[in-house]
Amino acid sequence: MMPISGQEGRGRRGEWLLTLPSLVWLIVFFLVPTLLVMAIAFKPAEINGGIGQGWTLETWRRLLLPTYPAIIWRTIWLSFLCTVICIVMALPVGYWLARLPSRWRTWALMAIILPFWTNFLIRIFAWKSLLHPEGWIKEGLVWLGLIESQANLLYNSGAILLVLVYTYLPFAILPIYAAAEKFDFGLMDAARDLGASRFLAFRRVFLPGIWRGLWTAVLVVLIPAFGSYAIPDLVGGPTSEMIGNKIAQRVFTERNLPHASGLSAVLALIVLLPVLVSLVARMKEERAGASRKEGRS
């Protein structure tokens, strides 16, 4: 055992050396700036747009004003709803893709990635014209009698949600598909053989089987959705702003950097939460895996 653990020690040192460059990179260009942003939130603002001397809680006091909790709350529920809808839609698609014969699969994957060939902003503008009071979606729905002619499809939370889902759906499909592709569908047969209905087999065997892909999908949709700026800016109205819009306003319009920093800090803290949850879950699983290996040797 002894020489093996010695080798392992050397291997670990090598691992550290290899990780060092990227670690330094992350600390210098990511961790330090984040901490700086958070620190600025405790500085006073100057009229000319600069950052004042000394420390103050003025920013945080203003964040408690009634407009902010409403915006933060809207950001949270829009992002969550967008994530839920994306996952619910991506699950059957990922399942279907993984079961598709491989020659069709390539084309289907292409179709899913196709929207990325067009610039993100152009696609949002396209939605803007589609949902416009004289756009054909609006007129079509009116013609079908589903909505009234004075109803507004644009510049509200519904429009934001629609475009959020549209934008992030491929990001949800891809990790779910990647996990489903590695999933052993023989297990579904086994579940059916043991008396489970299709739905039960899906829920009790397939979902746990692609657990990691599912979590990845949640994170890659939820986190960017929290930080949305362009989408609510273009298709949202003044009553449906998200944190991202407020941060931009504070920086560009008011030139109040401490205030923008405070909002950014709040955003970062909200985003950190699901990441921490997944991190803890993953560590727990790895610890279980490690003890399993010990049990075997």
Partner 1 sequence: MRGGEMDAYFCLDGVSKRYGGLAVVDAVTVEVRRGEVFSILGPSGCGKTTLLRMAAGFAEPDGGRIVLEGEDITRVPPNRRRINTIFQNYALFPHMTVWENIAFGLKVAGKGRAEIASSVEAMLELIDLREHAKKKPGAISGGQKQRVAIARALVNRPAVLLLDEPLAALDLKLRQRMLLELDRIHDEVGTTFIYVTHDQSEAMSLSDRIAVMNEGRIEQVGSPVEIYEAPRSSFVAAFIGDTNFICGEVSGFPDKDYCELEVAGLGRFLAYNDKKVPRGESVTLSLRPEKLFLERERGAREGVMNEIRGRVEEIIYLGSQTRYWVRCGEYRLGVLMQHGRFLLDQRPVTWGEEVWVRWHADDGYMLQSYTEADEALLTVSDVESGEAAEEGHDAD
Q: Which residues bind partner 1 (CB under 8 A)?
A: 184, 186-187, 189-197, 200, 204-205, 208-209, 211, 292, 295-296
Minimum distance of partner 1 from residue 195's CB (angstroms): 5
Q: By C-beta, is 184 or 286 nearer to partner 1?
A: 184
| b/e sequence 237-247, b meaning 16+ C-beta within 10 Å | eeebbbbbbbb
Q: By C-beta, is 117 or 199 nearer to partner 1?
A: 199
Q: By C-beta, is 204 or 282 nearer to partner 1?
A: 204
Q: What is the DSSP letter of 151?
A: -
Minimum distance of partner 1 from residue 216's CB (angstroms): 17
3-state secondary structure of 130: helix
Smallest Cα–Cα separation from 248: which of 268, 266, 228?
Answer: 228
Minimum distance of partner 1 from residue 294's CB (angstroms): 10
Kindly list the distances between the CA atom of residue 57 and the CA atoms of 41, 42, 202, 286, 295, in Å, as whole numbers in the listed order: 8, 6, 51, 41, 54
Minimum distance of partner 1 from residue 289's CB (angstroms): 8
Q: By C-beta, is 145 or 186 nearer to partner 1?
A: 186
Q: By C-beta, is 120 or 211 nearer to partner 1?
A: 211
Minimum distance of partner 1 from residue 274's CB (angstroms): 21
Q: How far apart are CA 158 and CA 94, in angstroms?
A: 26
Residue recorded with tokens 């934008």: 167
